[in-house]
Amino acid sequence: MAHVSVVSAAVKRLEGKVAIITGGASGIGAATARLFSEHGAHVVIADIQDDLGLSVCNELKSAVYVHCDVTKEEDVEKCVNVTVSKYGKLDIMLNNAGTCHELKDSIVDNITSEFERVISVNVVGPFLGTKHAARVMIPAKRGCIINTSSIAGCRGTGSPHAYVVSKHGLEGLTKNTAVELGQFGIRVNCVSPYLVATPMLKKYFNLDEEGVRKAYSNLKGSYLVPNDVAEAALFLAGDESNYVSGHSLLLDGGYTITNAGFSPNAGFSPGQSE
């Protein structure tokens, strides 16, 4: 069924903008693709989940799908090239694809290849997305790059080590590229959510919607959904944040200030991409 926009033309905040969303076939990425499209953006969904990605594109009036493994530079470069060839520009790069993989909590039980896989998707992927987005944004003297991080990127948590390390690395990449690319009018930020009921999280922790709700103890009556993260990405992508760069926008309901530390036995990973 076609996706029907409820946003009036008068308030479309991304009218005529072109955006690539990696990991855009499901979860946070799909919610953001829908919201960006509602606000007038041309959206390119880059993912390895072909059927899901094509399904989202079929809902939207102005979206195309490109198969893209973010760990492969040739895929990322091709995705950017296809976008620029079709639309003539790239305004927004949302590096959203991510993984938690099947990691062990104890460092002594961690397998090096699994650790490296998470780093490859969660850090190398955004690095490649930023690199090739910057390649076309620098000559245009404008652009916006957004990375989907996590509250695991701003402190130690009870989450698997590779995931926490990857999100700390992503925060560093965000800040460092914001310093470099600001001279070209390019803003770089990240959005850092707590638990979001995405397919990845539900599968990893074997949680249903109610299980996710129970993970929240500090902001009763409210819990984070993919569209909340999409709204934050919309803010960072739009003109309302034209002087915001190098920033990590926390979406945690105050969790990080009401909990001095995360229990390693809590059984939850605070925040995730895709």
Q: Each residue of 142-151: pLDDT tens digit?
A: 999 999 999 8
Listed range (95-104, 167-176, 254-263) with the worst mean pLDDT:
254-263
Helix axes 125-140, 73-87, angle to 10 degrees: 30
CA distance 39 to 32: 11
Helix (H), strand (E), coil (C) string for the chain: CCCCCCCCHHHCCCCCCEEEEECCCCHHHHHHHHHHHHCCCEEEEEECCHHHHHHHHHHCCCEEEEECCCCCHHHHHHHHHHHHHHHCCCCEEEECCCCCCCCCCCHHHCCHHHHHHHHHHHHHHHHHHHHHHHHHHHHHCCEEEEEECCHHHCCCCCCCHHHHHHHHHHHHHHHHHHHHHHHHCEEEEEEEECCCCCHHHHHHHCCCHHHHHHCCCCCCCCCCCHHHHHHHHHHHHCHHHCCCCCCEEEECCCHHHHCCCCCCCCCCCCCCCC
C-alpha dihedral, 222 to 224 to 227 to 232, nearest 10° = 100
Residues in contact with 251: Cβ distance below 8 Å, sequence separation at least 6, in sequence order: 191, 192, 193, 194, 224, 228, 229, 232
| Identity of the residue numbered 214 | K
CA distance 36 to 136: 21
Q: What was the pLDDT predicted at 78?
A: 99
Q: What was the pLDDT predicted at 270?
A: 42
Catalytic residue (one of 167, 194, 245, 248): 167
Our answer to whether residue 202 is catalytic in this structure is no
Residue 9 has pLDDT above 60, yes or no: no
Average pLDDT over residues 57-80: 97
Q: What was the pLDDT predicted at 196?
A: 78
Query: Taking the model in full, what pTM does it have?
Result: 0.88
221 Rama class: left (phi>0) / alpha (psi -120 to 50) / beta: left
Q: What was the pLDDT predicted at 265?
A: 40
Q: Each residue of 181-233: pLDDT tens digit?
A: 999 999 999 999 987 766 666 666 666 766 666 665 567 777 788 999 999 99
In percent, how much of the chain has pLDDT > 90?
65
Catalytic residue (one of 150, 159, 192, 248): 150
Residue 165 has pLDDT above 70, yes or no: yes
Residue 167 has pLDDT above 90, yes or no: yes
Q: Each residue of 35-59: pLDDT tens digit?
A: 999 999 999 999 999 999 999 999 9
Q: How many CB atoms are closer than 10 A to CB 167?
A: 31
Residue 34 has pLDDT above 80, yes or no: yes
> Which has the closest alpha carbon to 78: 66, 88, 87, 96?
66
Catalytic residue (one of 26, 37, 65, 163): 163
Q: Each residue of 87-135: pLDDT tens digit?
A: 999 999 999 999 986 667 788 888 899 999 999 999 999 999 999 999 9
Residue 261 has pLDDT above 80, yes or no: no
Q: Each residue of 95-104: pLDDT tens digit?
A: 999 998 666 7
Our answer to whether residue 175 is catalytic in this structure is no
Tell me the pLDDT of the chain averaged across its residues.
Answer: 87
CA distance 3 to 190: 27
Residue whose entry in the numeric block shows the structure tokens 């995931």: 163
Q: What was the pLDDT predicted at 7?
A: 59
Our answer to whether residue 163 is catalytic in this structure is yes
pLDDT band (50, 70, 90) for residue 160: confident
CA distance 6 to 265: 43
CATH no., domain 14-258:
3.40.50.720
pLDDT band (50, 70, 90) for residue 252: confident
Q: What was the pLDDT predicted at 198?
A: 63
Q: Each residue of 211-224: pLDDT tens digit?
A: 666 665 567 777 78
